[in-house]
Amino acid sequence: MKKELLMASALVSTLGVASVAQAVTASYAGSMKVGVEFESADDVATDTSTVSDLSNFNISLSETTDGGTTISTSFEIVDEGTVSADDDNSITLTFTDGSKLDVLNAGNAAGTHVVAVPSAGGEQGVGGTTTNNAPTDVDFGAAATPLGIEYHTYDNFLLDGLKMSASWSTDNGAAKGATARLENSWGVGATYVTALADGDTTITVGGGVASGDVVTSGTTATSDKSGVNFGLSAVTGKLTIGVGYGDGDTFVGNNAGVTVNQEVDGSVMKAGISFAASSDLTLAVGVTQGEGKDGQFGTAGTTEDSNDSTSASVTYTVASGVSTVIGYTQVDTNNEGASSTDGGSAWYVGATMSF
């Protein structure tokens, strides 16, 4: 009996060592965010308060071949009332010169190079019911199907501080249906980072161009999904200022809460500022102005929807990995050229623990 136990122990140990030796390198990170939101929506008679808890756990996997190419991917598990997993992840090949190739779920290069504009922290938002189709993200014209790739150049491509990428995606071969969908797409983008002569200020400039084919078995749109975006940010000492702009065309399929396919011609402007008042305290303010004209496929919209929001927050680091935030958002909307009751305001008070 003793021999059998020793053999079993040796077998388990051997398999365990072999499993570890053959496994890819894994790392993880995550956070737990808990707070309360106080919301006052214009189209709701009673103000509401809701406890919000959001936990996420991210696992990154990577390994390097004998030739020096790194193969990596990642996935995220998110729990916000119900558990879900982020499965739109690409396989990334990083080559010895620093260039990369994303394979499957690669996204659109125009979205990759959107410049980060400072914005308020917190989980506050206004959830009014609306048919307003004004876009609120500068890269709203950039989209891709899962069957796509994106190539990223190495850093300092062509000149110091420049990095570029290009993407392409295709359809899955499914027959056209009554609901409009994206079929093919392409995008190009670039980011340039430089320091001013004073040595204290870093400037980032970025943007991209994207286009995609929209298909439907019924009436087609007067324009496909496409757009451009441009952004600029400056960091000097404790102060960060940024601005971004996007313009283009998008669509809403008739399975998204509307009874017909809608085409949207829109634009978005974002601006924001953040200030690190101390090593523990950060103040941030952001504004977004979105405009769009929507109409049934085949008929371009003539009256304007708008969605304007202003947000502010104060974030304080209590301890390493632990921060608290107070955030506020005010949203004003117009629908089909007239003032609507889809806006409102919201407060958020919460804390985040990260690892």
Q: Is residue 281 a part of any domain in this protein?
A: yes
Which residues have CB under 8 Å from 206's CB, separation 6+?
A: 113, 114, 115, 189, 190, 191, 192, 230, 231, 232
Determine phi and psi for 59, rounding to 5 degrees: -120, 125
Q: Is residue 32 a part of any domain in this protein?
A: no
Q: What is the mean pLDDT of the chain?
A: 88
Q: Are 120 and 331 in contact (CB under 8 A)?
A: no
Q: Is residue 345 a part of any domain in this protein?
A: yes
pLDDT number for residue 197: 81
Which amino acid is located at 93 in the chain? L
pLDDT number for residue 218: 87
pLDDT number for residue 43: 67
pLDDT number for residue 7: 37
Closest by Cα among 82, 132, 110 to 340: 132
pLDDT number for residue 338: 78
Q: Are 235 and 210 in contact (CB under 8 A)?
A: no
Whole-angstrom Cα distance, residue 218 to residue 173? Answer: 18
pLDDT number for residue 208: 98
pLDDT number for residue 275: 97
Q: Is residue 219 a part of any domain in this protein?
A: yes
pLDDT number for residue 91: 94
Whole-angstrom Cα distance, residue 46 to residue 344? Answer: 12
Which amino acid is located at 104 in the chain? L
pLDDT number for residue 79: 73
Q: Is residue 50 a part of any domain in this protein?
A: no
Domain residues for the domain of 337 are: 106-354
At residue 308's C-alpha, the angle toward residues 305 and 310, to 5°, is: 170
pLDDT number for residue 22: 64
Closest by Cα among 314, 315, 328, 265 to 291: 265
pLDDT number for residue 94: 96
With tokens 């006052």, the residue in question is: 40
Whole-angstrom Cα distance, residue 32 to residue 15? Answer: 35
Those residues of the chain that have pLDDT short of 70 are 1-22, 43-45, 80-87, 128-130, 256-257
pLDDT number for residue 2: 41
Which residues have CB under 8 Å from 12's CB, separation 6+?
A: none
Q: Is residue 133 a part of any domain in this protein?
A: yes
Whole-angstrom Cα distance, residue 203 to residue 314? Answer: 25
Q: Are 51 and 33 in contact (CB under 8 A)?
A: no
E strands within the chain? 25-41, 48-64, 70-80, 82-86, 91-94, 100-103, 147-152, 162-170, 181-195, 201-215, 225-236, 239-252, 262-276, 281-296, 304-319, 322-335, 338-339, 344-354
Tell me how far apart the 2 most distant CA atoms of the chain are, in Å. 86
Q: Is residue 36 a part of any domain in this protein?
A: no
Closest by Cα among 319, 344, 291, 275 to 120: 275
Beta bridge partners of 256: none
Tokens of 159: 């000149």
pLDDT number for residue 14: 37
Q: Are 213 and 87 in contact (CB under 8 A)?
A: no
Q: What is the CATH number of the domain that holds 131?
A: 2.40.160.10
Domain count for the chain: 1
pLDDT number for residue 82: 57
Q: Is residue 336 a part of any domain in this protein?
A: yes
Determine phi and psi for 92, rounding to 5 degrees: -110, 130
pLDDT number for residue 87: 61
pLDDT number for residue 257: 67
